[in-house]
Amino acid sequence: MSTTVPTPAASPAILALADGTIFHGISIGSDGETLGEVVFNTSMTGYQEILTDPSYTKQIVTLTYPHVGNYGVNPEDAESRAVFAEGLIIRDLPLLYSNFRATMSLGEYLKQNNVVAIADIDTRKLTRILREKGAQPGCIMTGENIDEATAIAKAKSFGSMAGQDLAKVVSCEKAFEWTTAEWQLGVGYTVQSNPRFHVVAYDYGVKFNILRMLAERGCKLTVVPAQTSAADVLALNPDGVFLSNGPGDPEPCDYAITAIQTLLAKKVPLFGICLGHQLLGLAAGGKTSKMKFGHHGANHPVQDLDSKHVMITSQNHGFQVDETSLPGNVRITHRSLFDGTVQGIEMTDAPAFSFQGHPEASPGPHDVAYLFDKFIAQMAEHQA
Ligand SMILES: NC(=O)CC[C@H](N)C(=O)O
């Protein structure tokens, strides 16, 4: 399908950073203003998965790839129930979109989901500022009410992501079952009807593709709210527990850290991704810290320190597990080849491991999918 997108007269928009920088562009989403920490993502595709990744709560994303929207959006590629990114900043929104799965343009999707977004700005300059000074708060303002001084003042008022417990804010309200497996060309999403394992997945802001990849590998999932106690999880008699990705700072999530400590002591097989990885590190007695501008993209090289394989990975994090803080029963299994930071850990005295990047991709390469198989193997061993 190829569709010409109607082009109403572009309304002006600005992006103001807390350091006082102003960018002038056009509004491509809904009218109004938005506020958040501005981060850059280097993925060349996957804007819909990025917008719907709950880990972007309170963050405005700028994509370094210049043409965004070429293949439109579709109802199948959402990674959660809603758009969570606080705003979108791009160089160029194409006039046409073309893809056999597309049902609407990116611009229409942004408007439908009340996302304030700006295009026609120099995203390369913006990214250089974020690289040099670090991720910083920004404010997008559109339409009649644009006022540069107010936008800068609002950006400055945002504060920091450090100290913000957002996992419990975005988590589901009630537990639910999940059986949807992976997508197949010509078929769509498949269903896991013959599960071998029961996994309880903590929803700190989980991306659907994690649940789909676990279902594909023989799991029936019970997704539970972030603040569910370890006792309630154990009462469900799981073969393994999954710790999801999610927004904000891991350190204030004391409810999660306490629950994970109990699950570690009970030797329940545990697998954590991103925020889940950071929470496992904290539960083990380590520390986490905020990075300068984090890792956000689908092209980050990471090494598996056991096999020595180098994988191209999907990433989206602004905090990290501090290597020197880790106690002796935590082994480092993966490392970023961009900056040497910890990308994976494993407990030596419990069946628990975690990865900082995104083995589920969506968007990005599937080089790290073998970690889902490792979790399955751990649960099979535990069952035996
Ligand atoms: N994708 C995630 O789970 C991100 C984890 C955490 N919010 C961070 O920014 O580091």
222 shares a domain with 130: no
Residue pair 115/85 in contact (Cβ under 8 Å)? The answer is yes
366 shares a domain with 224: yes
Tell me which residue has its CA closest to atom 4 in ligand 1. 317
pLDDT, residue 169, reads: 98
255 shares a domain with 235: yes
Where among 157, 183, 216 does a domain terminate?
Answer: 157
Q: Which residues constitute the domain of residue 7?
A: 2-157
Residue 215 CA to ligand 1 center (angstroms) comes to 23
14 contacts: CB under 8 Å, gap ≥ 6: 22, 23, 24, 25, 118, 140, 141, 142, 146, 148, 151
pLDDT, residue 10, reads: 83
* 171, 275, 320, 368: residue to mutate for ligand 1 pocket, most atoms within 8 A of CB: 275
pLDDT, residue 8, reads: 58
304 contacts: CB under 8 Å, gap ≥ 6: 310, 311, 333, 334, 344
Sign of CA dihedral 71, 188, 380, 229: positive
Residues annotated catalytic, as ranges: 274, 358, 360
Q: Which pTM value belongs to this model?
A: 0.96
User: Which mean pLDDT values do the consecutive 10-residue runs of the chain (384 residues) have?
Assistant: 59 98 98 98 98 98 98 97 98 97 98 98 98 97 94 97 98 98 96 97 98 98 98 98 98 98 98 99 98 98 98 98 98 98 98 98 98 98 91
Where among 132, 157, 182 does a domain terminate?
Answer: 157
Please spell the DSSP secondary structure of 105-150, one letter per residue.
-HHHHHHHTT--EEESS-HHHHHHHHHHH-SEEEEEEEGGG--HHH
Nearest to 241 by CA among 290, 209, 279: 279
208 shares a domain with 261: yes
Does residue 162 form part of some domain?
no
- Structurally, the chain folds into a number of domains equal to 2
Interface pTM, i.e. ipTM: 0.98
- Does residue 316 line the site of ligand 1, with CB under 6 A? yes
Residue pair 211/191 in contact (Cβ under 8 Å)? The answer is no
Rg (CA), the chain: 21
Nearest-angstrom CA–CA distance, 83 and 253: 23
- Does residue 317 line the site of ligand 1, with CB under 6 A? yes
Nearest to 121 by CA among 57, 64, 41, 49: 64
pLDDT, residue 4, reads: 55
Question: Which residue shows structure tokens 């006082």?
Answer: 20
Nearest-angstrom CA–CA distance, 365 and 152: 37
- Does residue 80 line the site of ligand 1, with CB under 6 A? no
Residue 11 CA to ligand 1 center (angstroms) comes to 33
Nearest to 274 by CA among 345, 226, 326: 345
- Does residue 319 line the site of ligand 1, with CB under 6 A? yes
pLDDT, residue 2, reads: 54
- Does residue 362 line the site of ligand 1, with CB under 6 A? no
207 shares a domain with 329: yes
pLDDT, residue 127, reads: 98
242 shares a domain with 143: no
pLDDT, residue 5, reads: 55
Asked, as a colleague might, if the bond just before 363 is cis with ω within 30 of 0, I would say yes
pLDDT, residue 306, reads: 98
Pair of tokens at residue 46: 């996957």
Nearest atom in ligand 1 to the alpha carbon of residue 245 is 3
Nearest atom in ligand 1 to the alpha carbon of residue 358 is 1
Residue pair 353/344 in contact (Cβ under 8 Å)? The answer is yes
- Does residue 275 line the site of ligand 1, with CB under 6 A? yes
Residue 34 CA to ligand 1 center (angstroms) comes to 21
DSSP state letter for 248: S
266 shares a domain with 208: yes
121 shares a domain with 99: yes
pLDDT, residue 384, reads: 84
372 shares a domain with 229: yes
Task: CATH number of the domain at 223, please.
Answer: 3.40.50.880
Nearest to 56 by CA among 290, 242, 317, 364: 317
pLDDT, residue 145, reads: 82
pLDDT, residue 34, reads: 98
Strand partners, 302: 311, 336
pLDDT, residue 361, reads: 98
Does residue 10 form part of some domain?
yes
Nearest-angstrom CA–CA distance, 194 and 192: 6
